[in-house]
Amino acid sequence: MAVELLERVGELLGDAVIDSHARLGDATVLVDAGRIQEVLGALRDSDLRFNVLMDLTAVDYLGRNPRFEVVYHLASVDTEPHGTDPARLPHRLRVKAGVLEDPCEIGSATSLYVSADWMEREVWDLYGIVFKGHPDLKRILLYEQFEGHPLRKDYPKERRQPLIGPLN
């Protein structure tokens, strides 16, 4: 099923797909980060119906170019009866996009998936990847005075952070 899904995704996205693979039943595509909103919109609005963004995260590959990958986990959850039509059966897809260290940014998916809001804020907070077009990109886990992004592999583990006053 994953191989067939990747064939359909490749037909849909064309040259936006840089690479793809199906391993252990998981379908994964690597796409051009500059076209992420176009890619996600096409996947959502096509007959593949990737209507749920289940997860959004990032990976730091320090020393590699591009350094980061933003990873989207999409699902097709059709609430209508689908019988045996393969296009209507539930399916999942992992979409990866490489992000340079400078500029460390990618387009926001919030206009396509409401669920992207807090996920993008978490990735920005912990990795420092800016989501262009996000309506309220601010820290979600760490306090505002926190300096840096602690899930970056070059973040010094012994780093001292500014102290903040008592919470009222």
Average pLDDT over residues 144-154: 92
What b/e string do you get for 122-134 counting C-beta neighbours within 10 Å, with b at 16 or more? bbbbbbbbbbeeb
- pTM as predicted: 0.90
The sign of the dihedral angle between the CA atoms of 44, 50, 53, 59 is: negative
Give me the pLDDT at residue 80, please.
Answer: 60
Q: Tell me the backbone φ, ψ of residue 131, rounded to 5 degrees.
A: -105, 100
Q: Provide the percentage of residues in the chain whose pLDDT is more than 70.
A: 90
pLDDT of residue 165: 63
Share of the chain above pLDDT 90, in %: 77
Residue 18 has pLDDT above 60, yes or no: yes
pLDDT digits (tens, 9 = 90+) for 71-128: 999 999 865 655 555 556 678 999 999 999 999 999 999 999 999 999 999 999 999 9
pLDDT digit string, tens, across residues 67-84 = 999 999 999 986 565 555
Q: So where are the chain's domains?
A: 2-132
Exposure b/e, 28-48, CB count within 10 A at least 16 = b: bbbbebebbbebbebbbebeb
Inform me whether the pLDDT recorded for 168 exceeds 70. no
Work out the end-to-end distance of the chain between its first and last CA atoms, rounded to an integer number of angstroms: 54
Q: Phi first, then psi: what are they for 132, rounded to 5°?
A: -60, 130
Residue 55 identity: D
- Closest by CA to 43, choosing from 72, 4, 79, 86, is 72
Identity of the residue numbered 109: A
> Distances in Å between the alpha carbon of 81 and those of 46, 84, 114?
18, 9, 25
Report the pLDDT value the prediction gives residue 82, as an integer from 0 to 100.
55
**Nearest alpha carbon to residue 103 among 139, 131, 138:** 131
How does the average pLDDT of the chain come out, rounded?
Answer: 91
Q: Which CATH class is domain 2-132?
A: alpha beta
